């Protein structure tokens, strides 16, 4: 099982990074989210305590959001995925609709977007019949959803965090 480190870096938080130590720690964690703090400390020639304090600080600031396993959906039997735009009857209902989407485990991501849709979601399904049920029996039945428009995913070319040295 591989792990993916969730790093969310906003320009306002970057100013709160005091030096290159934080960026180097994040670089180590991004390579291996389960790397022991002692290994990072040794590689950087700093103390374990310093690594721990800086990681805690970055978690408190919301820069480092956590370490979670990255699941291989295909190996788990989810062979189909879509990116689906959702049009709402009224955009001010989006929070209620998002809560309904959260209750559908196959909806793995949800974004606010501009343009023709209010929300854009990623859906994982085991096969085309499973995808049809998610779209027509679950999402289309959420009160306030007016229309869905799906694009089938053919595979992920790559997935990564934003570069730390931009």
Digit-coded pLDDT (tens) for 118-154: 999 999 999 999 999 999 999 999 999 999 999 999 9
Mean pLDDT, the chain, integer: 89
* DSSP per position, 1-20: -EEEEEE---HHHHTT--SH
Digit-coded pLDDT (tens) for 18-60: 689 999 999 999 888 899 999 999 999 999 999 999 999 999 9
pTM over 0.85: no
Whether 4 has a pLDDT exceeding 60, the answer reads no
* DSSP per position, 118-162: SEEEEEEESSHHHHHHIIIIIITTSTTEEEEEEEE----S---PP
Tokens describing residue 54: 């800086």
Percent with pLDDT over 90 in the chain: 69
Please report, to the nearest 10 degrees, the dihedral formed by the alpha carbons of residues 10, 16, 22, 23 taken in order: 40
Whether 94 has a pLDDT exceeding 90, the answer reads yes
Q: Spell out the domains of the chain, with CATH numbers in brackets.
A: 2-70 (1.10.10.10), 80-152 (3.30.70.920)
Go through 33-57 and write b for each residue having 16 or more CB atoms within 10 A of its CB, e for each that does not. Answer: bebebeebbeeeeeeeeebeebbee
Digit-coded pLDDT (tens) for 60-80: 988 888 878 888 999 999 999
Q: How far apart are CA 155 and CA 94, in angstroms?
A: 29
Nearest Cα residue to 72 out of 152, 157, 1, 134: 1
């Amino acid at each position: 099982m591989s792990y993916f480190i969730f790093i969310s870096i906003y320009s306002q938080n970057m100013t709160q990074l005091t030096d290159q130590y934080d960026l180097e720690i994040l670089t180590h964690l991004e390579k291996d989210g389960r790397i022991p703090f002692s290994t990072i400390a040794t590689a950087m020639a700093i103390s374990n305590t310093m690594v721990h304090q800086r990681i805690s600080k970055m978690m408190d600031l919301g820069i480092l959001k956590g370490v979670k396993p990255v699941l291989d959906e295909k190996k788990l039997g989810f062979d189909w995925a879509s990116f689906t735009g959702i049009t709402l009857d009224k955009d001010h209902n989006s929070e209620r609709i998002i809560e309904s989407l959260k209750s559908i485990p196959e909806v793995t991501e949800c974004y606010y977007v501009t343009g023709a849709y209010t929300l854009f979601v990623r859906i994982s399904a085991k096969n085309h019949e499973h995808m049809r049920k998610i779209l027509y029996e679950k999402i289309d039945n959420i009160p306030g959803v007016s229309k869905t428009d799906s694009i089938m995913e053919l595979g992920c070319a790559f997935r990564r965090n934003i570069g730390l040295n931009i």
